[in-house]
Structures are given as structure tokens and as C-alpha cells.
């Protein structure tokens, strides 16, 4: 079996409401569907979300990187030779979500070829994982109401609050969400690099008072002394996200004492490199969170397969709910019931593309 075609199809879907966080505000999901087809007609899919504020990629750059560099490098390769695919792309820097979506789509092909789910191929530790709901920045009262709505509608018990814009508003948001949810819920925060180190340290008493369990990327990702200061001072563990875009960065950030936990996002490291990151973290005794790249349903299914595959990745809540922010989608994700998502148990990742919807939302045709 050989990889015969790699296609990159940009599509845009409006969000139900804007997602505001420290980097800015998104009002549309501008993603790219990656489709890998083999010479015997097996088709694998995955999604690359354009996140210029994190990786410098745009929809256009993802399509260009796949068409110009990644597809030519992998065409003709046996999809089972995942290490050869990875090695053939070692010279290509950045382009994280472009290369990861190709890796995920190849895994989807393998699952379909073998009649096994990717979740089984990766490790099949458990069938379902607790889901985290991300509460984007709004007026704090609205953030509290949103947390209650998601708890009541889906039974979700773990919430991540977007902070990092203004410590005064962030303080109010933490207090409002905690008082809305009471003591039973887990709450952590993501500042998306928005605080200075002294702001982060000044906020520690509020975070302790409101029972915050993790502080995600409090300060700029590449300010080593600031990061070491915060992680060394905080009694609450620091979760690395934008600072750990690949395996070597995970090793550096953890060993340099910049973070105690690592966010693994399959949208940025595929399954192949994410599995190495999970192994590295297990060996170092570093906890992991399966994070969201603000993915649609395709990304949620991919992250679910990975999160449920290992003890370490299913121990904490996984950020699998962002697709609920999209007004529509080109595939469906499993329902969130009693706060959990269950693997679909079908060959591959479990993605079924709704072709009429793809035709409607794709933005490369008139
Ligand atoms: C998140 O919660 O981390 C925002 C920036 C980024 O890199 O990912 C998103 C989601
Ligand atoms: Mg984050």
C-alpha cells in the first residue's frame, strides 16, 4: 500500500459566539481538511486549525506547506512506515498543524486498513474520558452562567477559564465562576502568556482562594527567567502549552523547571510525536493534559482517541469540547454525557465527512 494523494482543503465555519482570550478574539473556525488517499483507495482524514497567534500558520500557509513540501515528501511512501514519513519531514521547521494533520490522516488510513480504531492502535487504556469545558473571556457574570449551563446540559465538572487580559477582571472571573459552581467542580486557568511574572505571582493568593488546580502558560513562552520564577514560586502547578510545541521543547521546559505539567495537543504533534511526548513525560514523572487547539469535531475525535489510549492522558480531564462553539461542522463528534466522551469504536479515528457540508463550507471554490 502506498500514499497516492494528499489534499488540503480549506474550510470556514462561523462560531456561535466569539471566543475571546489573551491573544485576541476568534469569530470563525478557519481550518483545513487534510485527506490522504492510498493506491488501494483507503481514505484518511484530519483537521489542521490555523492558529497564527500560536504557530504563525494561516489557512493559506497550511495549504501551501502541504501542497509544496509535505505531499511531495510523503507521496509513494507506505503509510505503515510512519517513522519514514516523520523522518522525511525532519528538515521542515514549524508548520506544526500542517504536518500533524498529515500524520493523523495517515493513522486514520492505518486504522481503516486494519479494521481497528486508532484508539486501539495507540493503546486502548480506557473507553471514555472526562471532558473539560473552556470558558472564554466575557464579563465575569456571563462566564459563571456559561459554566452552569455546561454543567447542567452535559454534566461537565472540569472547567478552564481564559485569563491573561487584565488581572482585575481575571480575579473577578475566578471568583464568579467558583461561586457559581460551588466546591465540587475542578477549575484551572489559562493566561495564554498574558501576564507578567509579577502579575502571575500577585494573583496566586486569589488562585489558591478559588481552588485553581493548574496555571496554564502564565507568562510569555520564551522568557526563561520569568517562567522559572513563576513555576518556582507557585504552589499551584504550571501547565506548559505554547512553550511546548515539539518533543525537544517539552524536555527543555520540564528539565529547566519552567513547568510541572505539559499540554499535549495532537493538532500540533500528531499521534506519532504526541506518543513520544507522553512517554517522555511518563519517564520524567510529569503529568499531562490533552489540550485543545480550538478544534472542530475532527480534532475532538483525534484528541479523544489519544486521551483514552494511555493511563497518563486519561487521568485528568481532556479539552474535547470546543467543537460545541462551532455553528455547524463537516463531521460529528460523540456526545458529551455525564461529563465524559466515549470513543466511537469504529476503524480509524471515527471521522465521517459530511460531503454536502464540506462543499458548503470549503473556501477554495467559487
Ligand atoms: C488553549 O486553550 O490553549 C489558544 C491558544 C492556543 O495555542 O490554543 C488555544 C486554546
Ligand atoms: Mg493554552
Residue 211: C-alpha distances to residues 35, 218, 333 (Å): 43, 17, 31
37-60 average pLDDT score? 97
Active site residue 116: no
Active site residue 64: no
Please report, rounded to a whole number, the percentage of residues in the chain having pLDDT higher than 90. Answer: 99
103-119 average pLDDT score? 98
Catalytic residue (choose from 47, 216, 319, 325)? 216
- Residues 196-218 pLDDT 10s: 999 999 999 999 999 999 999 99
Average pLDDT, the chain: 98
Question: What is the whole-number distance in angstroms between the Cα of residue 215 and the centre of ligand 2?
Answer: 10
Catalytic residue (choose from 190, 249, 319, 329)? 190
Quote the longest CA-to-CA distance of the chain. 60
153-175 average pLDDT score? 98
Look at residue 132 in the predicted model and tell me its pLDDT. Answer: 98
Pocket test for ligand 1, best of 19, 26, 51, 136 (most atoms within 8 A of CB): 51
Look at residue 357 in the predicted model and tell me its pLDDT. Answer: 98
Look at residue 231 in the predicted model and tell me its pLDDT. Answer: 98
Assess contact for 191 and 200: CB atoms under 8 A. yes
User: Is pLDDT at 34 greater than 90 in this prediction?
Assistant: yes
CA dist., res. 186 & res. 213, Å (int) = 7
64-92 average pLDDT score? 97
Question: What is the whole-number distance in angstroms between the Cα of residue 56 and the centre of ligand 1?
Answer: 13
263-289 average pLDDT score? 98
Question: What is the whole-number distance in angstroms between the Cα of residue 190 and the centre of ligand 2?
Answer: 6
**Total-model pTM:** 0.98
167-180 average pLDDT score? 98
Confidence class of residue 366 from pLDDT cuts 50, 70 and 90? Answer: confident
Look at residue 293 in the predicted model and tell me its pLDDT. Answer: 98
Query: Which residues are CB-contacts of 244 (< 8 A; sequence separation ≥ 6)?
Result: 250, 253, 259, 262, 263, 277
Active site residue 241: yes
Amino acid at each position: 500500500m502506498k500514499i497516492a494523494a494528499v489534499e488540503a482543503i480549506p474550510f470556514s465555519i462561523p462560531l456561535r459566539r466569539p471566543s475571546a482570550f489573551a491573544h485576541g478574539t476568534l469569530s470563525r473556525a478557519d481550518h483545513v481538511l487534510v485527506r490522504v488517499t492510498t493506491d488501494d483507495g483507503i481514505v484518511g482524514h484530519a483537521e489542521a486549525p490555523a492558529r497564527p497567534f500560536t504557530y504563525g500558520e494561516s489557512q493559506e500557509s497550511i495549504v501551501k506547506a502541504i501542497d509544496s513540501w509535505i505531499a511531495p515528501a510523503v507521496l509513494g511512501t507506505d503509510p505503515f512506515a510512519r517513522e519514514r514519513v516523520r523522518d522525511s519531514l525532519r528538515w521542515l521547521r514549524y508548520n506544526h498543524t500542517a504536518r500533524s494533520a498529515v500524520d493523523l490522516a495517515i493513522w486514520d488510513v492505518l486504522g481503516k486498513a486494519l479494521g481497528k480504531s486508532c484508539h486501539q492502535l495507540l493503546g486502548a487504556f480506557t473507553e471514555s474520558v472526562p471532558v473539560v469545558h473552556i470558558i472564554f473571556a466575557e464579563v465575569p457574570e456571563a462566564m459563571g452562567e456559561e459554566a452552569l449551563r455546561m454543567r447542567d446540559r452535559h454534566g461537565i465538572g472540569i472547567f478552564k477559564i481564559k485569563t491573561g487580559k487584565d488581572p482585575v477582571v481575571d480575579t473577578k472571573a475566578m471568583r464568579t465562576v467558583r461561586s457559581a459552581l460551588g466546591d465540587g467542580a475542578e477549575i484551572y486557568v489559562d493566561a495564554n502568556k498574558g501576564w507578567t511574572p509579577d502579575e502571575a505571582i500577585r494573583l496566586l493568593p486569589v488562585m489558591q482562594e478559588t481552588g485553581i488546580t493548574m496555571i496554564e502558560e502564565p507568562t510569555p513562552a520564551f522568557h526563561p527567567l520569568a517562567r522559572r520564577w513563576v513555576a518556582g514560586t507557585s504552589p499551584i502547578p504550571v501547565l506548559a502549552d505554547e512553550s511546548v510545541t515539539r518533543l525537544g521543547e517539552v524536555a527543555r521546559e520540564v528539565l529547566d523547571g519552567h513547568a510541572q505539567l505539559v499540554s499535549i495537543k495532537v493538532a500540533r504533534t500528531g499521534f506519532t510525536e504526541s506518543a513520544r511526548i507522553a512517554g517522555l513525560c511518563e519517564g520524567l514523572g510529569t503529568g499531562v493534559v490533552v489540550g485543545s487547539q480550538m478544534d472542530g469535531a475532527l480534532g475532538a475525535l483525534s484528541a479523544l482517541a489519544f486521551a483514552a489510549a494511555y493511563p497518563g492522558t486519561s487521568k485528568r480531564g481532556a479539552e474535547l469540547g470546543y467543537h460545541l462553539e462551532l455553528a455547524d461542522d463537516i463531521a460529528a463528534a460523540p456526545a458529551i454525557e455525564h461529563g465524559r466522551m466515549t470513543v466511537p469504536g469504529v476503524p480509524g479515528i471515527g471521522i465521517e465527512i459530511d460531503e454536502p457540508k464540506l462543499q458548503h463550507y470549503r473556501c477554495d471554490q467559487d
